[in-house]
Amino acid sequence: MSLLPSTLNPQPSTMKIVAIIPAAGIGKRFGGITPKQFLKVNGKEIVAHTLEVFQKAKKVDEIIVAASKEEFPRIIKLQKKYNLTKLQIIVEGGKERQDSVYNALIFADLNKNDLVIVHDAARPLLPEKVLADAIHCAEKNGNALVCLQAKDTLLKKTNREHTYLNRSQVYYVQTPQIFRYDQLLSAFEKAKKEKFVGTDESMLVQRTKKKIHLSEGSPLNFKITTKDDLEMLKRMLK
């Protein structure tokens, strides 16, 4: 774990809100030597674009980044370069995204009713309103899952045939995903005990029989997964 120097003086509040950014991935699908979150677009690293969203968000008190140990110096450099005063802690990431987020949860100094925001490092265009609406939803309901309702015609293909899906019932799951600290920690501990690995936090929380509340996402909030995604980001940031 690395504690970073900061001039941050958080204001007292009844509920603390912390953003966890898992950034330990090596981007197997993307390829290349440099992990995609550290590639530069418009002269700035993708993860720096992402971190600035939370730095500017008034309701976010603190940012924790989970990264590989080799990347700690790079994260510290970004913190200083872009004056990311809310970035307080770097923790070592794990083999899976789930391990990285769990490590951050363990090191977070939170009470049970505080809110934890988990957001992909490679979703740099998160709109301010999407984040604000999700926080409001979580404050009211205990959690919030940012989703985007499908607009295209959807097909489910099998070996012999294909069927059309009702797109009004299909959503693309995005991040941020926001949960009360005790709710999220309990879900992670249950998954660890049962050796279950999920694709995101909402899947783990749903396994504890908690109701997941949806909050509206945005097409702008796409994840950089392929080189086509990177090209689209470059064009949008021109």
* Per-residue pLDDT, 7: 43
Strands 62-67 and 87-92, bridge-based pairing: parallel
- Expressed as residue numbers, the domain containing 89 is 2-236
Q: Which of 76, 119, 51, 96 is nearest to 197 (CA)?
A: 96
| The predicted structure's pLDDT at residue 5 | 52
* Cα–Cα distance, 195 to 137 (Å, whole number): 30
Closest to 142 in 3D by CA, of 79, 205, 198: 205
Copy the structure tokens of residue 147.
Answer: 């989703």
Q: Which two tokens stand for residue 82?
A: 């872009």
Given this model, what pLDDT does residue 10 score? 47
Q: Smallest Cα–Cα separation from 58: which of 143, 130, 137, 128?
A: 128
- Residues 38/47, Cβ–Cβ less than 8 Å: yes
We report the CATH number of the domain holding residue 24 as: 3.90.550.10
Q: What is the pLDDT of residue 113?
A: 96
In our burial notation (b when 16+ CB lie closer than 10 A, e otherwise), range 67-92 reads bbeebbebbbebbeebebbbbbbbbb
Residue 155 DSSP SS3: strand
How many domains does the chain contain in total?
1
pLDDT in tens, the chain (238 residues): 666 654 444 444 578 999 999 998 765 555 567 888 999 999 999 999 999 999 999 999 999 999 999 999 999 999 999 999 999 899 999 989 999 999 999 999 999 999 999 999 999 999 999 999 999 999 999 999 999 999 999 998 888 789 999 998 999 999 999 999 999 999 999 999 999 999 999 999 999 999 999 999 999 999 999 999 999 999 998 8
pLDDT of residue 215: 98
- Render the burial of 146-184: b for 16+ CB within 10 Å, e for the rest: bbbeeeeeeeeeeeeeeeeeeeeeebebbbbbbbbbebb
